[in-house]
Amino acid sequence: MSVLAAIAVLAVLILVHELGHFIAARSQGIYVNRFSLGFGPVIWKYQGPETEYAVRAFPLGGYVGFPDDDPDSNIPPNDPNLLRNRPILDRAIVISAGVIANLIFAYFLLVAQVGFVGIPQISKPQPGILIQQLAPEVSSVASNAGIKPGDVILAANDRQFGAAKEEIEVLRGIIKNSATKPVKLEIAREAEKLTVTVTPEAKTEGNGSIGVGLGSNVKVERHPAKSLTEALNVGSTQFQRIISMTFQGFGQLVTKPQETAGQVAGPINIVKMGAKIAQDDTASLLFFGALISINLAVINILPLPALDGGQLAFLLIEALRGEPLPNRIQDGVMQTGLMLLLGLGIFLIVKETSQLGFIQRLFQ
């Protein structure tokens, strides 16, 4: 169910994006002949007076179709309500409306997160080292020993751990240097204290590992806003922070490509991240939705072919030239850009699927 929740969040964000285009067009009287959520085979379809509405099998996509280039359309080519016959400003509003819709929706998601759930706030570190997660392998040492995420390691081989962040490296050193040797761990699990013995596996060059992710022993607390004004203000602050961090991230892809290229996430990793949040911290799904919605907006506004930003770039060139670029040039650029985006998407899917040990790990 966590995977379905993550996919549902992404589908809603795509729906919001396409609704932005649709509403911007229809509110100006511009013809829209198709509105589709998803891609692939049609599973539901409704023909309205002017627009065909459809839901397709794979929800991670969508489009708004215009009759301008539809050979079956009976609308005269010089009709002023065709998108291509509208002034540049009208077309720019329609093209940019999807991005604007995602940004507005992200802001209200953050306001809802602040108002009803609260933004996570980390408490002061306490003594011990937190087990954040276990390795996905069922046969990991920690899993076999009964260790669970959320456990706190208080001591290893009678070496007590304080609250300092450096204690994490101390524990890692003990495990690393104890390959094939038993290590006695004192663990706190809520109000209960346990003692378990683990024997780290020998990894590369004899380094020991028990298959856990470690972190400082902190508690995450949430305090919902006390008023609508506070929720709007805090939501605005969070919105600006995410926007800034998103642009910084894209900037580092340009300035430091070798360091950041490996951090680019495709659809599988995004669904995996959302599934983990849905499973471990459902309350943060609103924040996850806002984060992805902002990233979707920023990506779409980039001046790349086949994206909204690429179409806006064509409009800018048209405004400067006084006439649009020839259709063959626009079509060639858009088709090339579409092929590159599809190629990148396929590459990321193949890469992430292989890293996951195939798709079944999404359902763990």
Q: Does 176 share its domain with 234?
A: no
**Parent domain of 134:** 124-218
- Give the single-character DSSP code of 180: T
- CA–CA separation, 223 vs 115, rounded Å? 9
Q: Is the pLDDT score of 304 beyond 60?
A: yes
Q: Which tens digits make up the pLDDT trace of 14-46?
A: 899 999 999 999 999 999 999 999 888 999 999
Our CA angle for 243, 249, 252, nearest 5°, is: 140
- Give per-residue pLDDT as tens, 63-75: 899 998 777 788 8
User: Does residue 314 surpass a pLDDT of 50?
Assistant: yes
Position 44 scores a pLDDT of 93
Residues 205 and 277 placed together within one structural domain of the fold: no
Q: Helix (H, G, I), strand (E, B), or coil: what is residue 220?
A: strand
Please count the CA atoms within 13 angstroms of the CA of 89 that sit on its side-chain side: 1
Helices and strands (DSSP H and E) totals, the chain: 10, 12
On whether both 128 and 110 belong to a single domain, the answer is no
In a domain, 285, yes or no: yes
In this structure, is residue 56 part of a structural domain?
A: no
**How high does pLDDT run on average in the chain?**
79
| 348: nearest Cα among 265, 260, 259 | 265
Annotated active-site positions, please?
A: 18
Report the pLDDT value the prediction gives residue 283, as an integer from 0 to 100. Answer: 64
| Burial class of residue 32 (count of CB atoms within 10 Å of its CB; 0-12, 13-18, 19+) | buried
**Apex CA 241: angle with CA 231 and CA 249, to 5°?**
150
Among residues 218, 247, 276, the one where a domain terminates is: 218
Mind listing the pLDDT tens digit for each residue in 142-151?
888 888 888 8
Query: Which residues in 4-87 belong to E strands, given as ranges?
Result: 34-47, 52-65
Predicted TM-score (pTM) of the model is: 0.69
- What percent of the chain has pLDDT above 90? 21
In whole angstroms, give the CA distance from residue 120 to residue 224. 10
Shared domain check, 327 and 256:
yes
Q: CA dist 210 to 129, 158, 206, 220, 285, Å? A: 14, 18, 13, 25, 30
Both 257 and 200 in one domain: the answer is no
Q: Into how many domains does the chain fold?
A: 2
Most confident of 10-14, 219-223, 230-234: 230-234
Last residue of a domain, one of 218, 245, 265: 218
pLDDT higher than 70, residue 274: no
Task: Report if residue 32 sits inside a domain.
Answer: no
- Of 125, 60, 143, nearest in space to 364 by CA: 143
Confidence of residue 339 (pLDDT cuts 50, 70, 90): low
How do strand 192-198 and strand 52-65 relate by DSSP bridges?
Answer: unpaired
Claim to verify: residue 250 and residue 202 sit in the same structural domain: no
Of 279 and 266, more confident: 279
Q: Both 183 and 331 in a single domain?
A: no
* Beta pairing partners, 358: none
Grouping H, G, I as helix, E, B as strand and the rest as coil, residue 62 is strand
What is the phi/psi pair of residue 253, to 5°?
A: -65, -30
CATH number at residue 131: 2.30.42.10
DSSP class per residue in 267-318? HHHHHHHHHHHHHH-GGGHHHHHHHHHHHHHHHHHSS-TTSHHHHHHHHHHH
The whole-number pLDDT of residue 254 equals 59
Q: Closest Cα to residue 207, out of 235, 246, 173, 250?
A: 173
Neighbours of 238 (CB within 10 A): 21
Contact of 352 with 342, CB cutoff 8 Å: no
β pairing state of 201-202 and 192-198: unpaired
Give the per-residue pLDDT at 363: 33
Contacts of 204 (CB under 8 A, 6+ apart): none
**Do residues 305 and 272 share a domain?**
yes
Residues 107 and 233 in one domain: yes
pLDDT score of 349 more than 50:
no
